[in-house]
Amino acid sequence: MKPGCSRALDPRIWPVVPLALGKAGVPEFVARCLGGGELQFDLLAGVLRFFSYCSYKSPIWRAVSTEGNFMALDDILLEAEEKMIKTEDVVQNEFSGVRTGKASPSLVENILVEVYGSHMRIRELAGITAPEPRMLMIQPWDTTSVQPIEKAIQKANLGLNPAVQGKFIRIVLPELSTERRIEFTKIVKKMAEDGRVAIRHVRRDALEHLKKEKDGVTEDQVEAAEKEIQKLTDLYVSKIDAHVMAKEKEIMTV
């Protein structure tokens, strides 16, 4: 952890620091905590741990100790990172629905089934296993959902042919041709690009939000936050790049 960096701290500390310090400043706050029993002593310990991560000259320290606007800037960064994490999760979830040469429950588990008057994912209705490299077995917990699950798989346009065998649904994956594999790699590349675009949109929104936070915030603080947003953007774009490369390799492996 580099001095001045607060990103790995317990998020429960964030609301405490600015409220605890307020206008009283550090000395008075420390004095209050030392005489205030176990609860306030724990609060003091948390704040001191927070300051141990921040150098005195860092923009984050100045925002807490002089301006009281740490929460505004850091909330923007945290919100941006949360959105980027969700975007990465969405891309990975979409990748799991693209066929490879090997059977995997993730291929069908998120398919929506119309049942019980609503839509539910197959993983919420049945157990899914891969007893053989190119076979999936689906065992619905309620036999009345067998036909709806079969129908949903057929409608998903994944090139799968489910076969009902009593209380089970069996799916044998046909061998993928080279042309079909190449087609699937194009699909995952498009998914990846959509993810990159979404992350850049998060960056744009965060930067626009930063421009609005001018009261009590110095130019140095804003500049530091902008650099952090760019670092997050680069990080999550590179993660998507790594995911798509791994998925392409998986698809093309015979």
pLDDT, one tens digit per residue, over 57-100 is 344 434 443 444 555 788 889 999 999 999 999 999 888 878 77
> What's the Cα-to-Cα distance from 166 to each of 23, 79, 153, rounded to whole Å?
72, 49, 17
Q: Is the pLDDT of residue 41 over 50?
A: no
Q: What is the pLDDT of residues 97-136, one digit of tens each?
A: 787 777 888 889 889 999 998 999 999 999 999 998 889 9
Q: Which residues contact 89 (CB under 8 A, 6 or more apart)?
A: none
Beta partners for residue 120, in sequence order: 113
| Ramachandran category for residue 4: left, alpha or beta (phi over 0 → left; psi -120 to 50 → alpha) | left
Q: Which of 45-59, 129-143, 173-187 has the highest mean pLDDT?
A: 129-143
What confidence score (pLDDT) does residue 32 get? 54
Q: Is the pLDDT of residue 227 over 50?
A: yes
Mean pLDDT score, 179-203: 92
Of residues 38 and 245, the one with the higher pLDDT is 245
What confidence score (pLDDT) does residue 34 get? 52
Q: What is the pLDDT of residues 192-205, one digit of tens each?
A: 999 999 999 999 99
Mean pLDDT score, 37-44: 49
Beta partners for residue 88, in sequence order: none
Share of the chain above pLDDT 70, in %: 70
What confidence score (pLDDT) does residue 89 get? 93
What confidence score (pLDDT) does residue 5 get? 41
Question: In whole numbers, what is the pLDDT of the chain averaged over residues?
Answer: 77
Radius of gyration (C-alpha) of the chain in whole angstroms? 26
What confidence score (pLDDT) does residue 138 get? 95
The pTM of this model reads 0.58
Q: Which of 70, 13, 54, 78 is nearest to 213 (CA)?
A: 70
Identify the band that residue 4 occupies on the pLDDT scale cut at 50, 70 and 90: very low
What confidence score (pLDDT) does residue 73 get? 81
Q: Is the pLDDT of residue 185 over 70?
A: yes
Beta partners for residue 221, in sequence order: none
What confidence score (pLDDT) does residue 192 get? 95
- How far apart CA 141 and CA 138 sit, in angstroms, is 10
Mean pLDDT score, 33-59: 48
Query: What DSSP state is assigned to residue 67?
Result: I
Mean pLDDT score, 16-34: 47
Mean pLDDT score, 173-192: 87
Question: Residue 163 in 3-state DSSP?
Answer: strand
Identify the band that residue 246 occupies on the pLDDT scale cut at 50, 70 and 90: very high
**Which domains are assigned to the chain?**
1-67 (no CATH), 69-101+175-254 (1.10.132.20), 105-172 (3.30.1360.40)
User: Which strand (E) or helix (H) includes residue 170?
Assistant: strand 168-172
